[in-house]
Structure 1
């Protein structure tokens, strides 16, 4: 079981995500999230997947694609930092990613399969890390960031967006 990262191990705007992660085994939580998201969204129609709760907001499919793309970026950062690479890592523009991903052309099922595949890769990486790797730090978007913080950000980001999906997309 990993301890939550401390302030100073991540940019303050990630605090929201990290605080959403409950105490307990992080790997187990990450595994459970796959089943929870598939159960939550697996029976949606393509019409449901195209739903936007307001003009200019992402569709449900775009939110799902965003969760996967963000995890890819954070997992890559986690890999680099855990392996001792101290090269400063740039930020990414989430709206640019969503716009170019064109998630609405994919089915809900394809997006869920993609999320599961990304999460399996993330879990494979996380299971390889030893205590020294978890403590390594680097720079992401001009802020200090630890490998540990990135794993918590991945989990908390998914929690955050699942709550948004439940509150704004699935309650229509």
Structure 2
């Protein structure tokens, strides 16, 4: 069983994500999260996908696109660290990535499908890692970071954004979070 990383295994910035991951099997958590996110967003309309809860904040398309992009980047870091490479990774500019991706030109369901594919690739990578790979260390944000910490960061990052989506986007449209059905039209 993969154990939760210790605080010295990742940059303090990532603590907010790692603490969101429950003490259970990480593999099960990643699969459950993928299903939860897809079920939560599968019936989102084009209008809802373009909603911004505040000026200069991302709309739902951009949030979901960011989730996929961040997971791609973090999974690459995980891959490199797990394979024993010694590259050092600086932070990536999430706003630049989101702007240049131009998620608003895409259909929301296509972004959701892309997110699902990215998670499947992450899950496949994680399932194939050896026991030794989990404790290998690379440098992320100028801090020693283990492969297992990166796996927890990936799971925590999604959980972080699930909460934001529920609180700041779906409640705007009075969507029943359990069934993803509108309780009333808007």
- TM-score band by shorter chain is over 0.9
Partner of 1:67: 67
Q: Provide the rounded CA distance (Å) in 1 between the counterparts of 2:150 and 2:127.
A: 14
Number of residues of Structure 1 aligned to a counterpart in Structure 2: 172
- SS, match of residue 171 in structure 2: coil
Asked whether 1:14 is paired with 2:14, we answer: yes
Residue 13 of structure 1 and its aligned partner are, at CA, apart by 0.7
Runs ≥4 residues deviating over 4 A: none
Q: Which residue of 2 aligns with 1:111?
A: 111
Question: What TM-score comes out, normalization by structure 1 length?
Answer: 0.98
Once the two structures are TM-superposed, the CA of residue 90 in structure 1 deviates from its matched residue by 2.4
Query: 1:93 offset after TM fit, Å?
Result: 0.6
Q: Max radius of gyration: which structure?
A: 2
How far the C-alpha of 1:30 sits from its partner, in A, is 0.5
Counterparts of 2:92 and 2:106, CA distance in 1: 23
User: Secondary structure of the equivalent of 1:22?
Assistant: coil
Q: Deviations over 1:78-125 (max 9, x none)?
A: 000000001212220111111111111111110110011001100110
TM-score (norm 2): 0.91
Contact 1:46 1:108 in 2 (8 A): yes
After superposition, the CA RMSD in angstroms is: 0.7
Q: Could you tell me which residue of structure 2 aligns to residue 167 of structure 1? A: 167
Separation in structure 1 between the aligned mates of residue 89 and residue 5 of structure 2, nearest angstrom: 19
The separation in 1 between residues aligned to 2:107 and 2:18, in whole angstroms, is 30
Cross-structure match for 2:142: 142
